[in-house]
Amino acid sequence: EDKVVQSPLSLVVHEGDTVTLNCSYEVTNFRSLLWYKQEKKAPTFLFMLTSSGIEKKSGRLSSILDKKELSSILNITATQTGDSAIYLCAASNNAGNMLTFGGGTRLMVKP
Amino acid sequence: EAQVTQNPRYLITVTGKKLTVTCSQNMNHEYMSWYRQDPGLGLRQIYYSMNVEVTDKGDVPEGYKVSRKEKRNFPLILESPSPNQTSLYFCASSSQGAGGTEAFFGQGTRLTVV
């Protein structure tokens, strides 16, 4: 059975701090790993990673995949209160039919 | 505007009363999927559809049915809802299967079964 585990479960930081969120996966015939941000409603897409070692960056957020370690990290630098959300990691298989999500990391950024 | 539309957004119902949650997308996506979200469990896949008339079970299909008669619509049917189906439900669609590209999510349906 495919499995995705995220850590930590929750995190409280102050504005300006840098955070690293972790995601590990066990997926048969792995295809890609995706990161989503969820505030009060629907998850919104952040990154899709398919190749090991290539960093994807968007503003203060960046992410990288390590296929050898079956893991990915999401970094957020200079955090702001607007970064407060649940961050979800998901892994897909080559058949393109299943997307397995981790339990999420709840990030709270205090002013 | 590209979007996935779910209805209703909120629903309180009684045990055993059949209900349908609708999902419609306007992006001509072949792949659609339903998830439920419960605290601490992330999103769990209920059913998915690779194309019209092609549906299959996800990780937690018990108690649910789906149909895909048209490309744009993918309704979720609870024939006899029970309290353990109280959850937040999301419909999603994407153009290249699960994980091939970003998935677009509906706004969610919060279902309470009493």
Say whether pLDDT at A40 is over 90: no
- Give yes or no for a contact between A107 and A84, defined as CB atoms under 8 angstroms apart: yes
User: Angle CA(A80)–CA(A81)–CA(A87) in degrees, nearest 5?
Assistant: 90
Mean of the per-residue pLDDT values for chain A?
94
SS3 category, B3: coil
Nearest to A22 by CA among A65, A83, A84, A60: A65
CA dist list (Å): B61 to A29, A46, B77:
22, 28, 11
User: What whole-number percentage of chain A has pLDDT above 70?
Assistant: 100
Interface size, chain A vs chain B, as Cβ–Cβ contacts under 8 Å: 73
**H runs (alpha helix) in B12-67:** none
Query: What ranges make up the beta strands (E) of A2-104?
Result: 3-7, 10-14, 19-26, 30-38, 44-49, 56-58, 61-66, 71-76, 85-93, 99-101
Would you list which residues of chain B are within 8 Å, Cβ to Cβ, of chain A? 31, 33, 35, 40-45, 48, 50, 56, 58-59, 90, 96-103, 105-108
pLDDT (tens digit, 9 = 90+) per residue, B15-55? Answer: 999 999 999 999 999 999 999 999 878 899 999 999 999 99
pLDDT (tens digit, 9 = 90+) per residue, A55-64? Answer: 999 999 999 9
